[in-house]
Amino acid sequence: MTTLNVQHADETDEMRSWSEIRSDFPTLDQTIQGEPLTYLDNAASSQMPEPVIERIDRYQRHEHSNVHRGVHTLSQTATDAYEGAREAVAEFIGAPTPKQCIFTRGATEAANLVAQSWGRANLESGDEILLTRMEHHSNIVPWQQIADETGAEIRVLPVTDDGELRLDQLEEMLTDRTKILGVVHVSNALGTINPVEEIVERAHARDVPVLVDGCQATPHLSVDVDAMDADFYAFSGHKMNGPTGIGVLYGKEAWLEEMPPYQGGGEMIRSVTFEETTYADLPNKFEAGTPAIMPAIGLGAAVEYLTSIGMDRIAEREAELLDYATELLEAEEGVRIFGRADDKASVLSFDLEDIHPHDIGTIVDTHGVAIRAGHHCTQPLMDRLEIPATARASFSYYNTREDADRLVEAIEHVREIF
């Protein structure tokens, strides 16, 4: 792999400027309603740079075939590209081996896989599933479904007014009945970066495995699943400059070996008779049917692109943008910012007097400013904060200070109208 060399590129004179990097993203170069697009909805989905688009284009034009089964050359080419993407992803998150990275449809399917496969094999009536109040619905609903089936119960670790986990209550929430802990690495609604290493360590001290939802972490931070010691780690391709329709479930090998398949079909079998089927080895056991080959290869290209910039450099850039935008928004009369964690990713959730976030979203859109308005699939968290919804601006490394300036100008216009 060449990525290791590239990772140190930021220490050399050849470091690409942020404006050069921004020009890699064709979507950003357009006007919306006559205004330059200010894309601040990165936590919902991020844009795709040329190298990823080109890689997808090349695959689809020259390399496409079905993977794994073919005896012909093109099938081997496609298989090499697909498995190469798995290797790139594994390296990106520090997975000990690529086979521990299962390609899924997205983080949602990854969470469902754990809940259905691990959950059905390991949960019984009276067991407890510990989640946190700031989970995305995708790390709540799959557990509710399996809890209904098995009779297990869901318990919820609270959050503070500032949007941090009440880790002081973790000890008492981890009971003898706790069978698994689900925790979000970075909150999509508030930006809070949770100390997952510490949480995993404390859960493991009680023999409780941990599923970390890493959707908002992998695009913004250097993630090392092995150092973190997570049992499962889930994330989505389209949040990190890759395509939609692809995500990853990382799992510890012992768990993945022991877990039953999630879905049945082709690709995941070793042999089939009507009497008995034996399953394939990892990772194929969990990848029934023809996988999302092109999106996986796109994700592989995306992690190589991120690595070429350097995740530490990205985190630094986004922290700087967050500080700048936070300061600007704080100075705006009537703006209330939600999520005041000490350790925070570049998400700014706010409201403005009693103006509904949807009205804010519509009005700033006429300035070309794309933000999200709503509950961000975190209704329990919104209930905790006693708000129906927030407006959310989420920054990526390709955003600029000018983007933050335009956001604030647009917000001032909202106030003028109301």
Partner 1 sequence: MTRLRQLYQDVILDHNENPRNFGDLEDANCEAHGDNPLCGDEYVVSAKLTDDGEVESVAFSGEGCAISKAAASMMTQHVEELSREETEKLVNEFRDMLTDDLDLEEDDHDLGHLKVFESVASRPERIKCAVLPWHTLLAALEGKESISTEGEADPKAEVE
* Distance (Å, whole) CA 179 – CA 127: 6
Among 18, 226, 355, 380, binds partner 1 (CB under 8 A): 355
CB of 355: closest distance to partner 1 in angstroms? 7
Contact flags string 379-408 toward partner 1, x per CB under 8 A: x--x-----xx-------------------
Asked if 367 and 35 touch (Cβ cutoff 8 Å), the reply is yes
Task: Report the SS3 class of residue 18.
Answer: helix
* Distance (Å, whole) CA 244 – CA 25: 16
Q: Which of 240, 246, 294, 377 is catalytic?
A: 377
Q: Which is nearer to partner 1, 69 or 358 (CB)?
A: 358
Angle subtended by helix axes 357-365 and 401-417, to nearest 10: 120
CB of 400: closest distance to partner 1 in angstroms? 25
CB of 382: closest distance to partner 1 in angstroms? 8
**Residue 377 annotated among the catalytic residues of the structure:** yes
* Distance (Å, whole) CA 274 – CA 271: 10
Contact window for partner 1 (CB under 8 A) among 8-16, 247-255, 333-341, 355-363 = 355-363
Contact window for partner 1 (CB under 8 A) among 5-13, 174-182, 245-253, 349-357 = 349-357
125: tokens are 């009536």
* Distance (Å, whole) CA 283 – CA 289: 13
293: tokens are 């080959």
Contact window for partner 1 (CB under 8 A) among 180-188, 263-271, 288-296, 356-364 = 356-364
Task: Report the largest interatomic distance among the alpha carbons of the chain, rounded to a whole angstrom.
Answer: 72
Give ∠ CA 152-156-161 in degrees, rounded to 5: 170
Using CB under 8 A as the binding rule, whether residue 362 contacts partner 1 is answered as yes
Among 35, 366, 380, 400, binds partner 1 (CB under 8 A): 366
CB of 243: closest distance to partner 1 in angstroms? 23
CB atoms within 10 A of CB 377: 18
Among 263, 358, 401, 402, binds partner 1 (CB under 8 A): 358
Contact window for partner 1 (CB under 8 A) among 14-22, 206-214, 223-231, 362-370 = 362-370
CB of 388: closest distance to partner 1 in angstroms? 5
Distances (CA, A) of 182 to 155, 177, 213: 10, 15, 7
Q: Which is nearer to partner 1, 23 or 145 (CB)?
A: 145
Among 146, 363, 385, 404, binds partner 1 (CB under 8 A): 363
What letter would DSSP give residue 167? G
> b vs e for 270-290, b when ≥16 Cβ sit within 10 Å of the residue's Cβ?
eeeeeeeeebbebbbbbbbee
Using CB under 8 A as the binding rule, whether residue 359 contacts partner 1 is answered as yes
Task: Just list the catalytic residues.
Answer: 377
Site for partner 1, rule CB under 8 A: 355-359, 362-363, 366, 373-375, 379, 382, 388-389, 417-418
